Structure 1
Amino acid sequence: MADDGRADDGRAAAGSGADGPDHAALPTVGVEEEFLLVHPVSRCVEASGSRVVARASTAVGDLVSGEFTEYQIEGKTPPCSSFVELRGRLARIRAATSAAARAEGLRLCASGTPVIQGGGPADIGDHPRYRASVDQYRAMLDDFAVCACHAHVYLPDRELGVLVSNHLRPWLPLLVAMSANSPFHQGHDTGYESWRSVVRGRFPCLGPPPYVESLDHYERLAAAMQESEALLDAAIPYWDIRPNPRLPTLEIRSMDVMPDIGDTAALTVLIRALVVTAAARVRRGDPGPRPSSELLRAAYWRAARDGWPGSGVDALTGRILPASVQAKRLVDHIRPALEEHGDLDHVSAFLRRLAIRGSGAQRQRASAESTRGLVGVVDDLVGLTAGRVDPVAHQAPSGHGLSLPRR
């Protein structure tokens, strides 16, 4: 939430380049991933982000940076044209940051929330914007060590970007369900698939963006939010879709960080196809659907609670539909763009993995059901984050079935 701008330095995500591809035909994409640092014995989060970033930067430069708390670090890819390139970049950055964490006696963990209880309030990163956020939001930030995945799609026209956002808004809850990877928080089973989404939902400035008529309308709303003190800086809004403040991209921010880089890359190219499809509709004069804000927030909450393979609110119709049915409708909607960019097979494989072993949250619960409990959850996440191949060897559990404390 407390976006400091350091990730938006022109190298990260999907910025343009003079020698890049034809962006009108194939927009580049990029990803920002936030990770927790955990101790290998206690499996609790450790406040060592600055040290790990300094060590990792010798290998990947400014593609790694600090985050809101010292419990976290962030990796970010340069612009990528294809699924294969993006997956390779993600693997390289994760390998470098995992090695740096190990050199500092820690482990890198891709979970939306800390699985095991840490020690006291989060240590805030050393940046003026972070300190200003604490002054403004106060105790709301005491447990704000949450980790996201942000996808960037090259779209330099900001006016077009906010109008594309209107078309993307109804699909955001499905992205929450597909990426859900935070069922546990500080030693408790929350009963939710994405507790990170619940933590974010208590802030007045986070969640789905407003429906807007123009870029001017968007900027006036952001300015009003800043004036109310619900938003720290109108130039850097925290909505789940935004034209990035410093890069020529549209940024989608609703997803939990995912342990499997294949899932991350597949969901990113799915989002690219959704942006391309929406941009074509905007250019034809389609203003996009306008679901009520109340219904959209309800859809967010249901997606955070039930995730994949649960049912949720289809914000386009108000009907309760299984996430898998909503995903099929989404793929049908964007199929031409997926086929044009050669991404249909990658997205289809991702959906098959979800059908077989569920989301990251489902995998965390399956690990917790083993004899090692939450320790096994963290170890499994650490292995996947470091690049261990997921054999998709078990079915997603049908229910929670845990004897762990719930909130």
Structure 2
Amino acid sequence: MKDQDFGEPPTVGVEEEFFLVHPDSGEAAAAGTRVVARAAPRLGDAASGEFTEYQVEGRTEPCHRMDELRAQLRGVRAGLAAAARAEGLRLCASGTPVIGGDGGRADLGDHPRYRAGARQYRAMLDDFAVSAFHAHVHLPDRETAVLVGNHLRPWLPLLVAMSANSPFHQGRDTGYASWRSVIRGRFPCLGPPPYAESLAAYERLATAMAATEAMLEPGMPFWDVRPNPRLPTLEVRTMDVLSDVDDTVALTALIRALVVTAARRAAAGDPGPRTGAELLRAAYWRAARDGWPGHGVDAPTGRVLPSSVQARNLLEHVRPALRAYGDEGEVTAFLRRLELRGSGAERQRSRLAAEPRLGAVVEGLVRETCPEDPEEGA
């Protein structure tokens, strides 16, 4: 397959969710509305609130190149970090609050959808303070987007393992690499998307789920891969937020290559593997528990394999697209970092082992989140 066969790279965009924390205690702080207001003159619509007041969100514009994406991510993080500092707080990229921040309903963000969710899911949302990163890949054809989701489903547990960055939750070690994935897994409307033969079948299922009240709105499903309801993109939502911008960029490049590879197969008439929902759910759970460099369920084969072996298989699967867009070095460097220093979850636990207080874990995350910050990067 020749590089030029891929044409121009589709644009990508990223959304990142962060916790706000007190610099002395490391405890999550309910100040999202104030921090977004502070950030607005610098960031405009690139900054917004999130599900709880403990969080803020930053988003990029569509980007063709990964160096452009990296610059935008750094700029948005710097703007949010400066706004947080003006409120006496810090910006922290972790999938769950390391210390405090129980996500109680009194601390919900100011959005009608959040209040509707609290009415519908009740106590299930009492500790739903979780932070993710979402990658958007331009794909304007919604029918193709649904078929691409069929191809992506088996690889989603590996994305959970590679991005795992939430071992601690409200002051305790959960024993998991991605506790955020466990919290999300209890909801009937979150997790891997269904296998769907067509856009019409996908929409019928979403409508039926909304009728049962398992989903808020059929037009806005929260599955981990979805045609975005408002944008001409395919959105991948399975990952914990990452503290290292370079890791976020590399995973976005990998996801774009995976989407493009899947779109080519769908266009050739390949409907995608029919990985069973039960096996896929088991693969998610194992990835959330063991993360990287643990073993996980290789959903395409059903075998239990090391995460590193699964990653090499994925790399081979998407290598032509990576090479076509000049992103192979970005992704291979990320895999080397995983081998040398571990995932975000491993680094959090290593910090605790070196200095046995959870505040040290938060301080390390804050430094990684925005190393350009003049105080935290010193």
Same fold (TM over 0.5): yes
In structure 1, distance between residues paired with 2:326 and 2:151: 23
- 5+ unaligned residues in a row in structure 1: which ranges? 1-22, 390-407
Aligned residue in 1 for 2:3: none
Q: Give a deviation string over 1:357-390, Cα, whole Å, max 9, x none.
A: 111000000011122421110000001111269x
What residue in structure 2 maps to residue 276 of structure 1? 260
How many angstroms does 1:126 deviate by? 1.0
Structure 1 segments, 4+ long, off by >6 Å, are none
Relative to the length of structure 1, the TM-score reads 0.89
- Deviation, 1:43, is 1.0
Give 1:319 shift: 0.1
Residue 83 of structure 1 and its aligned partner are, at CA, apart by: 1.0
Residue of structure 2 in register with 1:3 after alignment: none
Q: Return the match for 2:21 from 26, 30, 38.
A: 38
- Matching residue's letter, 1:26: P
- For 1:82, give the aligned amino acid: R
SS in 2 for 1:231: coil
**Aligned-partner Cα distance in 1 for 2:252–2:164:** 15
Q: Is the 8 A contact 1:111 1:381 kept in 2?
A: yes
Matched, 1:95 2:78: yes
Aligned counterparts of 1:77 and 1:221: Cα–Cα separation in 2:
31
Which residue of the partner structure matches residue 79 of structure 1? 62
Q: Which of 174, 179, 182 is the matching residue for 1:195? A: 179
Match of 1:156 among 124, 137, 140: 140
Q: Equivalent residue for 1:172? A: 156
After superposition, the C-alpha distances for 1:161-188 in whole angstroms (9 at most, x for unaligned) are 0000000000000000000000000011
1:48 alignment partner AA: A
Cα separation, 1, equivalents of 2:23 and 2:205: 45
Matching residue of 2:123: 139
* 1:70 aligned counterpart, secondary structure: coil
Determine if contact 1:160/1:279 at 8 Å carries over to the other structure.
yes
Displacement of 1:25:
2.3
AA aligned to 1:89 is Q
Aligned residue pairs total: 368
**Kept in 2: contact 1:370–1:376 (CA 8 A):** no
| Residue matched to 2:45 | 62
Specify the alignment match of 2:32 in structure 1: 49
Establish whether residue 265 from structure 1 lines up as the match of residue 249 from structure 2.
yes
Query: In the alignment, residue 284 of structure 2 is paired with which amino acid?
Result: Y
Asked whether the equivalents of residues 91 and 387 of structure 1 are also in contact (C-alpha less than 8 Å), the reply is no
Look up the SS of the partner of 1:366 in the other structure: helix
Instruction: Tell me the equivalent position of 2:336.
Output: 352
The answer for the alignment partner of 1:255 in structure 2 is 239
One-letter amino acid of the structure 2 residue matched with residue 106 of structure 1: L
Q: CA RMSD in A?
A: 1.4
Q: Return the structure number with greater helix share.
A: 2
Q: Check 1:63–1:113 CA distance in 2 against 1; reply closer, same or farther (3 A cut).
A: same
Q: Say which SS state the counterpart of residue 191 (structure 1) adopts.
A: coil
